[in-house]
Structure 1
Amino acid sequence: MKSLFIALAMYSKLPAPSVEWDKKSLSWALCWFPVIGVVIGALLYGWFLLCAALGIGPFLRGAVSLLIPIAVSGAIHLDGFCDTSDALGSHQDRARKLEILKDSHTGAFAIICCTVYLLLFFAAWCEVLPTDRAALVLALGPVLSRGLSGLAAVTQPNARGSGLLATFTQPMDASRARIILGLWLGVCAVLMVALDPWTGTASLIGAALSFLYYIRMSRRQFGGITGDLAGFFLQICECAIVLAVILGQKAVVLL
């Protein structure tokens, strides 16, 4: 349970008891990362039901749907998205990009990319129809994205060999962590497709494409992953899932 409390304290604003961050507890903390996605998914699904019951329109529904994951995570992943945007926009060498990731100042590329991202994600939430089983597929999106983020952390090289991400991955039994995170992903994927074959499959394709981009980009641009890059991936993955569900819903209508 200490590992769960550490994961909640690090990756969310959810209340959790204060515990000692010992090596054994840290070695399992990342395996609990998808639990935060479960909480976010439950809040999203509850919000979808409330919107349906009260007849709330797409704009307010979309705005709150966008804000729920950011509020629960304390914007830690959005911060990583902004830092990564600054580093990628600099077009500097690898060493300089890694320095930019650690810089606490916010550059122009971070502001521009964050604004564009939030506009796109808001529009996607307004366009998607979170009804029936598609609502449950969307609610599982935050679980899927966190499972993939955790899997990347235990399978990909660390660009620095140090830092916050290394604090969680270095003491970890990587082989067992891969199995546990793989189980999270397997269960999530099966549920998504079983709930709604069209939108479930579409969401998995969207998540997979964003994951492949993340792995290729991080290795090519940074030589591996970091905590900021993990946050960047989480944001684009969750947006990709919603966009993919929209395409799945449109495909059903056309066919």
Structure 2
Amino acid sequence: MNNRDQKLIEFADLPAAIGLLTRLPVPMSQTRAVARGAAAAWAYPLAGALIGIILAAAVSVFTWIGLPIGMVAALVIGVNIIITGAMHEDGLADSADGLWGGWDRARRLEIMKDSHIGTYGVLALALSLLIRWLGLSAMIALDIYWAGLMAIAVLSRGGMVILMAAMKNARDAGLSKSVGRPTAATAWAAVAIAALIAAVLGQFAMIVVAPFVVLACGLIARAKIGGQTGDILGATQQITEITLLLVILT
């Protein structure tokens, strides 16, 4: 069945989204999840909300134990990496290596597919972890981590759906290609859910800034490789997350 012939929203989409974006043990029908494909992308922000809740709860627990703020921030980033399987970090590293390490489209895509990590990837990961650690430490110190972590998690994953819908796949294989392209209605549903959650949390500045970050990532990907891949989506999530951390602290 074509994605455009499917229902906009189905209950099974939420566990499918959680199963794709996290390593959490979620009971779901693999057959149904595959059949829905990109049609389930409207639920990505809800999967993000679950991630945000888990991370904020982890901050509360580690803080209650009495750990220093810097240690709490480091442990929570570790929890984030564990529950997401470092999917987005991997995308960031591969995108940094490929987009800036190759001289033409074919070579960039080849580098991004390679499992090895290069200098650009290492530096991108190091900067990402450093900025996220500093940002999370500051949010904990200001006691704004519940709203901050949840809003960042939903908006950064809503942005992924926009790129999936707006840009063609840069290669004929890979995770993004296998999932497919969501319809405009699915993408708008994801955006609306992400914006609504962030608005309820009072993070209006994030709602304004996030689309520009996603647009910038999309323009770079189009110029460098002519489309998006799973790595580009992961990198977009990471860059959006980092930017929104800066927004909430300004």
Q: Same fold (TM over 0.5)?
A: yes
**Distance in 1 separating the partners of 2:145 and 2:80:** 18
Deviates most, 88-97 or 233-242: 88-97
User: Offset of 1:201 from its aligned partner?
Assistant: 3.2
Q: How does 1:112-123 map to 2 (within 5 A)?
A: 112-123=123-134
Q: TM-score if structure 1 supplies the norm length?
A: 0.83
Deviates most, 212-221 or 3-12: 3-12
**Distance in 2 separating the partners of 1:203 and 1:27:** 25
What residue is the counterpart of 1:253 in the other structure?
none
Deviates most, 76-85 or 176-185: 176-185
Deviation digits for residues 201-230 of structure 1, max 9, x if unmatched? 333344234212212111111111110000
User: Offset of 1:64 from its aligned partner?
Assistant: 2.3
Q: TM-score if structure 2 supplies the norm length?
A: 0.84
- Match of 1:105, SS state, is coil
For residue 236 of structure 1, the aligned residue among 234, 239, 242 is 239
**Distance in 2 separating the partners of 1:105 and 1:133:** 37
What residue is the counterpart of 1:246 in the other structure?
249
Deviation digits for residues 88-110 of structure 1, max 9, x if unmatched? 23141112101111112222221
For 1:192, the aligned partner's letter is L
For residue 188 of structure 1, the aligned residue among 197, 212, 222 is 197
CA contact (8 A) 1:130 1:138 kept: no
**Distance in 1 separating the partners of 2:208 and 2:77:** 21
* Aligned CA distance change for structure 1 residues 139 and 56 (closer, same or farther; 3 Å): farther
User: Offset of 1:182 from its aligned partner?
Assistant: 2.6
For 1:234, the aligned partner's letter is Q
Q: Is 2:28 aligned against 1:25? A: no
**Percent identity of the aligned residues?**
26
What residue is the counterpart of 1:215 in the other structure?
218
Deviation digits for residues 163-217 of structure 1, max 9, x if unmatched? 32122224x4x03312321321231232233xxxxxx233334423421221211
User: Offset of 1:62 from its aligned partner?
Assistant: 1.4
CA contact (8 A) 1:214 1:233 kept: yes
Q: How does 1:1-255 map to 2 (within 5 A)?
A: 1-17=11-27, 19-21=29-31, 24-129=35-140, 131=142, 135-170=146-181, 172=182, 174-193=183-202, 200-247=203-250
* Aligned CA distance change for structure 1 residues 134 and 205 (closer, same or farther; 3 Å): farther
For 1:79, the aligned partner's letter is D
**Distance in 2 separating the partners of 1:129 and 1:207:** 22
**Distance in 2 separating the partners of 1:117 and 1:27:** 28
Unpaired stretches in structure 1, ≥5 consecutive residues: 194-199, 248-255
Deviates most, 62-71 or 215-224: 62-71
For 1:188, the aligned partner's letter is I
**Distance in 2 separating the partners of 1:91 and 1:24:** 35
Deviates most, 128-137 or 110-119: 128-137
**Distance in 1 separating the partners of 2:188 and 2:208:** 21
* Aligned CA distance change for structure 1 residues 134 and 164 (closer, same or farther; 3 Å): closer
For 2:146, the aligned partner's letter is A
